[in-house]
Amino acid sequence: MSLPLLENLNPEQRAAVTLPHESALILAGAGSGKTRVLTTRIVWLIQGGQVSPHGILAVTFTNKAAKEMMTRISTMLPINTRGMWVGTFHGLANRLLRTHWREAGLPQSFQILDSSDQLSAIKRLMKAMNVDTEKYEPKKVQWFINGHKEAGRRARDAEAFDEYSMRMAELYEAYDAQCQREGVTDFPELLLRSYELLYRNEPLREHYRDRFRHILIDEFQDTNTLQYRWLKLFAGPHTALFAVGDDDQSIYAFRGANTANMAEFEREFAHGNVIRLEQNYRSHGHILTAANTLIAQNAHRLGKNLWTAEGDGEPIRVFEAYSDQDEASFVVDEVRTLNREGIALSDMALLYRSNAQSRVLEHALFSASVPYRVYGGLRFFERQEIKHALAYLRLLTNPEDDGAFLRVVNFPTRGIGARTLEQLADTAARSGTSLWQAACTSGGKVAGFAGLIEAIKASTRDLPLPEAIDHVIEASGLADYYRADKEGADRLENLNELINAAALFSEEGGLPDAPGPDTAPDAPVATESPSELDRFLAHAALEAGEHQAGAGHDALQLMTVHAAKGLEFHAVFITGLEEGLFPHEQSTLKGTSANEENGLEEERRLMYVAITRARRRLYLSHAQSRMLHGQVRYGLPSRFLDELPEQVLLNLNRRDSARTSGVQQTAGRYGAPVSRNPGHDTGYKVGQSVAHAKFGTGIIIDFEGRGPDARVQVKFRDAGTKWLALAYARLSPA
């Protein structure tokens, strides 16, 4: 056996790589070298003659991970890896079905529908069956079908207890029949069909059990119910399963991931044979201490403790901002300082819990001319729902805008089909007019759309800009559309953030270089100043069009924490650490205490993932106030901050002058306005953290009265919002 293969492995890694022919669970902590262990294990088995390359089944969750594994194997072994079964669940299921298409009941050249193709097929089916698409929305039918497939259930197994669910099950059955006639499958069908093939075909199942003597699974914590059942069909009495994962990094429950699969695997296959990879090769000690202490609060975990030989490193910097703008200004200043010190922008990451938070951060970066790149997503003003809302706004100010008209004339759906729009375009071309003018004279549903725009325009004429945009989002049907969308919560948050952007734009007076009336002495005629809406639309176009760095250019990385999993950076900023934001409010609104606890545990795992992205420098920030739905709201610091050990934290304080509580606004360290104090002579101010003997800690959000008669409204972390008479409340600064 080649000793150089093992010489750079630590004792735990070596123990995992050189395991005898037995099943084991490898608990691989963040930054512990799990990919190296997985690929080295494969090479060890092949090099030692324990198995041929064709006797290995290796499963990953992304094509990128599969390609990386194949590349590493081919550099360590002089073999052709093309014949090896290494790939994603769906890729391997497709391979199985292509090989045994006849046994699976499929045509040899069956095609795979992506998500949009699947939705189109469902719409075509529903039209043929004359189904009311308002009562049975095609998107919801798609979720129903895919949800049942991913749980391993056919239409006959779907729970149907009323007219609606029975009809959904009928549509599922009809959709399956349509796909079978047309010789196509969707992505969930690949795994379900291959599972059914192996389950009912014992000779085929035994063939693959005999062939694959070693099965290795990466990111095991992300497996769902059907994926685990699929894997178990390959496991015969002589099969060794090598499952690598980290239950502390299980963050995809919303996709169906079942973290309990790890504990079940330990009982069913590993039988207590667990190897913990705890030495971290990424982060300094203070960062790991914070991560370990935080995740220890979770009750349902297999348990491990990360450590490093690299020393403690720098303390974790914690910044309390006055507002979300102040927070963004702080981040920009720190990024520029680090960049001047020689840290590449691309080696810094700015993380947030939800996409809507990026808008304020992007605005600050844009204003400071700091190039950035949104990783795994779109810039704020390029997101679908924002472009829809902006298209409605563009029609209010310029109904001749054909591009805006076409974008939203049938979104949300109004029954205006492609044929109708073709006829409308022909009418407009013949008369030399815009689509809008043609619509106004055409009658029918397109005229109804024109009437809707006119009604919205009349309703918003005298409203402030943020209220006008709020009304447009509601009256257009966008809000209701995304409320009904199973995956629409983030899009609704983004639409609310558009209202916040408008409020900030109005507060700042709009674009500083916006053209106004021409007052030059030689001006022949004074031109009219553009409306605030026109200026806001120009502002949105400018921010959408610049400062997203191109490929190959050094740029700050912006992303959600979910998108950051698997990545690492020299410096990481985790922003928006407030209750209701991170942890997200949905994690505490699950209906039962058990579900609430599970939701909080997943949020805590998400925070653990965020912390462990940092190698050397970590910043945690939160804001006393944040713009929500166009209004300033006051929040509490995240409970996760309280769960971190104080000895590894460094609080970044503002100048004393910035803490002044006078009636006038004062400037914070980074120039953002501090909310004025409506408490006057009480000694307290809005945004101040306080403690109460009975209700615990909270934050002041409002005042009423003066002096000894004053009342204060406090939002408590655990006791809700309460009005308290200051003379009797016995509050103290927290």
Q: Where are the domains of the chain?
A: 3-88+195-279, 111-182, 316-379+548-655, 381-494, 677-733
Band the pLDDT of 674: cuts 50, 70, 90.
very low
HSE-CB of 489 using CA atoms within 13 angstroms? 8
Region 635-643: mean pLDDT is: 93
Contacts of 400 (CB under 8 A, 6+ apart): 434, 436, 437
Burial of residue 432 (CB within 10 Å: 0-12, 13-18, 19+) is exposed
- Asked if 519 contacts 489 with a C-beta cutoff of 8 angstroms, the reply is no
Can you list the pairs that 131-134 forms with residues at least 24 positions away whose Cβ atoms lie under 8 Å? Answer: 131/167, 131/171, 133/413
CA dist list (Å): 439 to 401, 409, 436, 666 = 13, 10, 5, 53
- Asked if 536 contacts 543 with a C-beta cutoff of 8 angstroms, the reply is no
622 strand-pairing partners: 320
Q: How far apart are CA 239 and CA 210, in angstroms?
A: 8
Q: What is the DSSP letter of 268?
A: I
- Asked if 557 contacts 349 with a C-beta cutoff of 8 angstroms, the reply is yes
732 strand-pairing partners: 691
Q: How far apart are CA 350 and CA 373, in angstroms?
A: 10
Stronger pLDDT, 32 or 597, i.e. the higher one: 32
- Cβ–Cβ contacts within 10 Å for residue 437, how many? 16
- Asked if 731 contacts 714 with a C-beta cutoff of 8 angstroms, the reply is yes
Q: What is the DSSP letter of 238?
A: T
Band the pLDDT of 665: cuts 50, 70, 90.
very low
CATH architecture of 677-733: Beta Barrel (2.40)
Q: How far apart are CA 237 and CA 209, in angstroms?
A: 8
Task: Check whether 594 has a pLDDT greater than 90.
Answer: no
Q: Which class in CATH covers the domain with range 316-379+548-655?
A: alpha beta
316-379+548-655 and 3-88+195-279 share a CATH fold: yes
Q: Is the peptide bond before 583 cis (omega within 30 degrees of 0)?
A: yes
CATH number of 3-88+195-279: 3.40.50.300
Sign of CA dihedral 568, 283, 612, 88: positive
3-state secondary structure of 202: helix
3-state secondary structure of 318: strand
- Asked if 478 contacts 389 with a C-beta cutoff of 8 angstroms, the reply is yes
Contacts of 336 (CB under 8 A, 6+ apart): 368, 370
For residues 517-534, one letter each, b for 16 or more C-beta atoms within 10 angstroms of the residue's C-beta and e for the rest, the string is eeeeeeeeeeeeebebbb
- Asked if 486 contacts 145 with a C-beta cutoff of 8 angstroms, the reply is no
Q: How far apart are CA 344 and CA 555, in angstroms?
A: 8
Q: How far apart are CA 567 and CA 614, in angstroms?
A: 9
> Which CATH topology does 111-182 take?
Arc Repressor Mutant, subunit A (1.10.10)
Contacts of 550 (CB under 8 A, 6+ apart): none
Q: Which of 320-329, 378-387, 611-620 has the lowest average pLDDT?
A: 378-387
The percent of residues above 70 in pLDDT, for the chain, comes to 89
Q: Which of 81-85, 258-262, 548-552, 570-574 has the lowest average pLDDT?
A: 548-552
> Which CATH topology does 381-494 take?
PCRA; domain 4 (1.10.486)
pLDDT at 59: 94
Q: How far apart are CA 353 and CA 349, in angstroms?
A: 13
Task: Check whether 31 has a pLDDT greater than 50.
Answer: yes
Contacts of 172 (CB under 8 A, 6+ apart): 141, 144, 145, 148, 154, 155, 158
| Tens-digit pLDDT profile for residues 433-468 | 889 888 898 888 889 999 999 999 999 998 999 999
Task: Check whether 528 has a pLDDT greater than 60.
Answer: no
| Tens-digit pLDDT profile for residues 99-148 | 999 999 988 888 888 888 888 899 999 988 999 888 888 989 999 999 99
578 strand-pairing partners: 637
Q: Whose structure tokens read 């073999």?
A: 79
Task: Check whether 416 has a pLDDT greater than 60.
Answer: yes
Q: Which residues are catalytic?
A: 34-35, 218-219, 249, 613
pLDDT at 592: 46
- What is this structure's pTM? 0.78
Q: Is the peptide bond before 138 cis (omega within 30 degrees of 0)?
A: no
Stronger pLDDT, 327 or 520, i.e. the higher one: 327
Burial of residue 617 (CB within 10 Å: 0-12, 13-18, 19+) is buried
Q: How far apart are CA 587 and CA 605, in angstroms?
A: 12
Q: Which of 48-52, 183-187, 535-539 has the lowest average pLDDT?
A: 535-539
